[in-house]
Amino acid sequence: MKNKNNRPICTSEYVSINEIDQFLFHLGTSFDNPVMLFLHGGPGSAESLFTGLFQDRWEEIYTVVHWDQRGAGKTLTKNPDKLPTIELMLQDLFEIIQYLKKKYNKKKIVIFGHSWGSVLGSVFIRKHPEEVEYYIGAGQVVGMMENEQVAYNKLKEIIEKSGDKKSLKKLESVGEYPGSKIVFDKGFLRKCNIVHKLLGKYKLGMEIGIDIWIAMFKSPIFKFSDIIAFMKIFKANSKVHSFLGDFNLRTESKEYKVPVYYILGERDWQAPCVVAEDYFKDIKAPNKEIFIIPDAGHFLMMDQPDLVFDTLSAINKNETSYKQVSAI
């Protein structure tokens, strides 16, 4: 594997976690830096191939470890029949953190959860706060039902203002959305596909440009089997989808035992910024702060890499100061 930046830490490996071999990709500049475990989106959308788009400067202040989760990326390729449930993924995450603590001689690990990763991360820090230095939620999901309702209403408002009758007719063809309960069946997926394509058209949703594909092919860890794995993620993660459909942070206690930071894209309507911002006002944590990144969508770290790095740098400094004061 090529180490284009000559990083002291640049390794990819399969580690035996929870009885299967799971893929980890480590990048960093100093063993003294905090270790950040990046929890990717999806479920199933491994982001280890896209580090070149946003992560180089992160490695100045963190050792960043990407994990292709069970049911995703290289872990799915290696274990096509070992598919995830939320219980298995939480156990996987716990064991990976034990491995990283030992490997890097750390007492705790920083968790960065993006999109679906923010769901997994939010559940984990409630169960195991003793394992986590602090938590960063990017494109934070508060609840699937609320997210889809808010996104739909915003989309309809924008389309009506634009006078785009063709798009309005398409939107109205989905009927009641997302319905009384989210079930990832063919009917919901058809509706979801229409809504999210229109979100993309009006730059309210995820935008996957040519730069993402170029970054993937240029990645030092890319293999063509990664494309095949991506094509299988929906079926592979069916049991996790049922959990995600019912997920709602508002029904849980708003007290957290670890510091909590949210980094949100101002124009993110995939996991609407306004929903996470509203929820964040009510949470209690040892330390908390929210950052809104201007002109950024759901892939905020790719849309505004410099602003996201500045934010991470501020969080890192804040936590360093917080620990020093707490130790006095």
Does some domain include residue 52? yes
For residues 183 and 236, state if they share a domain: no
Distance, in Å, from the CA atom of 208 to the CA atom of 48, rounded to the nearest integer, reads 16
How many structural domains does the chain have? 2
Percent of the chain with pLDDT over 90: 85
- Whether the predicted pLDDT of 2 surpasses 70: no
pLDDT reported for residue 326? 63
For residues 70 and 189, state if they share a domain: no
Distance, in Å, from the CA atom of 118 to the CA atom of 57, rounded to the nearest integer, reads 22
Distance, in Å, from the CA atom of 164 to the CA atom of 166, rounded to the nearest integer, reads 6
For residues 175 and 220, state if they share a domain: no
Percent of the chain with pLDDT over 70: 96
For residues 246 and 122, state if they share a domain: yes
Residue 188's closest CA among 177, 199, 198? Answer: 177
For residues 114 and 167, state if they share a domain: no
For residues 133 and 255, state if they share a domain: yes
- Whether the predicted pLDDT of 79 surpasses 70: yes
At 180, the pLDDT band (50, 70, 90 cuts) reads: confident
Using a 10 angstrom Cβ sphere, with 0-12 exposed, 13-18 middle and 19 or more buried, the burial of residue 94 is: middle
Cβ contact 207:297 at 8 Å: yes
Does some domain include residue 2? no
At 203, the pLDDT band (50, 70, 90 cuts) reads: confident
Look up the pTM and report it: 0.94
- Whether the predicted pLDDT of 6 surpasses 90: no
Cβ contact 264:301 at 8 Å: no
For residues 153 and 138, state if they share a domain: no
**Positive or negative CA dihedral for 288, 293, 299, 302?**
negative
Alpha helices in 26-164 (DSSP H): 73-78, 86-104, 116-127, 144-162
For residues 223 and 316, state if they share a domain: yes
Does some domain include residue 62? yes
Q: At 279, which CATH number?
A: 3.40.50.1820
pLDDT reported for residue 213? 84
Non-local CB neighbours of 52 within 8 Å, separated by 6+ positions: 215, 218, 219
Distance, in Å, from the CA atom of 229 to the CA atom of 44, rounded to the nearest integer, reads 9
pLDDT reported for residue 325? 63
Given 166, 186, 201, the domain boundary residue is 201
Residue 120's closest CA among 51, 196, 37? Answer: 37
Given 174, 201, 228, the domain boundary residue is 201
Q: What three-state secondary structure class fits 146? A: helix
For residues 69 and 119, state if they share a domain: yes
Does some domain include residue 1? no
Does some domain include residue 3? no
Encode pLDDT of 134-174 as tens digits. 999 999 999 999 999 999 999 999 999 999 999 999 999 99
Q: Is the peptide bond before 43 cis (omega within 30 degrees of 0)?
A: yes
Does some domain include residue 82? yes
Residue 267's closest CA among 277, 259, 258? Answer: 277
Domain membership of residue 166 as a residue range: 146-201
Q: What is the mean pLDDT of residues 286-306?
A: 95
Q: What is the mean pLDDT of residues 308-314?
A: 98
Residue 44's closest CA among 93, 102, 83? Answer: 83
At 192, the pLDDT band (50, 70, 90 cuts) reads: very high
For residues 116 and 229, state if they share a domain: yes
Distance, in Å, from the CA atom of 279 to the CA atom of 187, rounded to the nearest integer, reads 30
For residues 109 and 242, state if they share a domain: yes
For residues 26 and 62, state if they share a domain: yes
